[in-house]
Chains A and B, each alone.
Chain A
């Protein structure tokens, strides 16, 4: 079976600084991949390249058989029309570190906005599905609450429901629990575990090693714009092969104590 995501030689520069120095990566349908690594290692940037929030400078990213952001013609990559980029993004869900809920809309309005305005779904249908999604993340009672009235954990769960409302084939999580108070982390991870159990394909940038260990199928360690090593969580986290991985994990453990 062809993988859902194929990245080949992805390069990204900000000015003179090269943030991604050739990322090769494959993610199978239904797989949960956890990206770990120190801050500034390029993991969030790579995630943002997958749905073309960042343009790449070289390489290619293919999701579900479609080249993201570009069209290949006679050996050259041409930038896509905005309309096509939007269509591709609509099939890829993304959850942000700082939630980024729309503050002028209620929880339910946040969830149904894109299905109605982007996909052209009938409002009544979208409301029905939106309520079901809010129930799924445990927030059925909060549908008419504005984000400012919700805790960080609740906001992030609404954000997950909002992404799911577009029925994505792939979900990207950019440090989804890093901005949360410690006691709110678990309720979000619980929802993500449920998604993983339902077979959603997920790429999760995270510092939560416990989640990577028991919910991830694979862990990839990034540092300095490259993937240093990857493999099953039990191997990478317990018996890292590379010195850089070892020192990163040691520092993380020391910080936890």
Chain B
């Protein structure tokens, strides 16, 4: 009999794990090959259109759209969340109603309404509606307002995750509600807010493609403009696909680093 120190551990065999892994690799390879070897795809065109000025301009518009909408959405989200948690029933209802309306209707419908608002109101104050609400502005407004409804729920969950004792401590030190929110509650809520907010931003990046219906000038609009002329539909969708993946990947990596940084400070969360 061998001494205990000599005894070797034999890992359990896992045939199903091997089999399922093999299937996944095979499927992936098949997909890659079927695109790569597909005679109906003009591979040269995909490469050629990847960096043409029209596509890059659309890409820039998509990024600006997403960033502007995210900014509006975040500010609006905090505002709506504070309203939702307020003592006033009117403010709570107002915030709830806003979220109900904008989350309850398709974003595509909202974009079409903002893009065609000139049909409803010819003038906004002294200005002509169509002069103010250009397709780009209408896109930013539609995406930002919609984003606000989702962000309000994200922010609200974050605020509610902060221990009640933190508010007591802030008040006991003489802080006003606003100061306590800004200095004590929101910084702690951020740890809970960042992961879903990152997902939210990735959704938003992709949702910008919907503004192609009002010729928002985004990446997808640019790709469609080209493909409607040269009929290389799939090729230009692949061009767009590549850029969307680049944007969402950058976002994911950024999110990872932000979360790691926030995790460094201590935890003040329940449970």
Contact = CB atoms under 8 A, between A and B. Distances in A.
Nearest to B265: A104
B175 A100 contact: no
A117 B163 contact: no
A36 B14 CA distance: 63
B21 to A, nearest CB: 40
Contacts of A87: 174
B268 A104 contact: yes
Interface in A81-132: 82-83, 86-87, 89-94, 96, 98, 100-104, 113-114, 117-119
A51 B172 contact: yes
A142 B123 CA distance: 63
23 contacts: A51-B172, A53-B168, A82-B176, A82-B177, A86-B171, A86-B174, A89-B172, A90-B173, A94-B172, A96-B165, A96-B168, A101-B169, A102-B169, A102-B188, A103-B265, A113-B173, A117-B175, A117-B179, A119-B174, A147-B266, A147-B268, A149-B266, A159-B169
Contact of A89 (B173, B265, B266): B173
Rank and list the top 10 A-B pairs by shortest CB-CB distance, nearest first: A90-B174, A148-B266, A103-B268, A100-B169, A114-B173, A94-B172, A100-B165, A146-B266, A103-B266, A118-B174
B165 A98 contact: yes
A157 interface: no
Nearest to A83: B176
| Range class of the B interface residue count | 20 to 34
Nearest to A147: B266
Nearest to A103: B268
B267 interface: yes
Nearest to A93: B172
B226 interface: no
B70 to A, nearest CB: 23
A203 interface: no
Given A102-B268, A103-B267, A117-B179, A89 B166 contact: no
Contact of B184 (A92, A98, A102): A102
Main secondary structure of the interface of B (DSSP, over half): helix
Interface in A139-182: 146-149, 159, 162-163, 166
Contacts of A92: 172
Interface in A33-82: 51, 53, 82
Contact of A53 (B171, B187, B188): B171
Given A86-B176, A96-B169, A102-B166, A113 B183 contact: yes
Contact of B174 (A102, A104, A114, A148): A114
Nearest to A87: B174
Given A114-B174, A118-B174, A162-B173, A100 B166 contact: yes
Given A86-B175, A114-B174, 7 more contacts: A82-B176, A87-B174, A89-B172, A94-B168, A117-B183, A147-B268, A163-B172
Contacts of A89: 171-174
A227 to B, nearest CB: 23
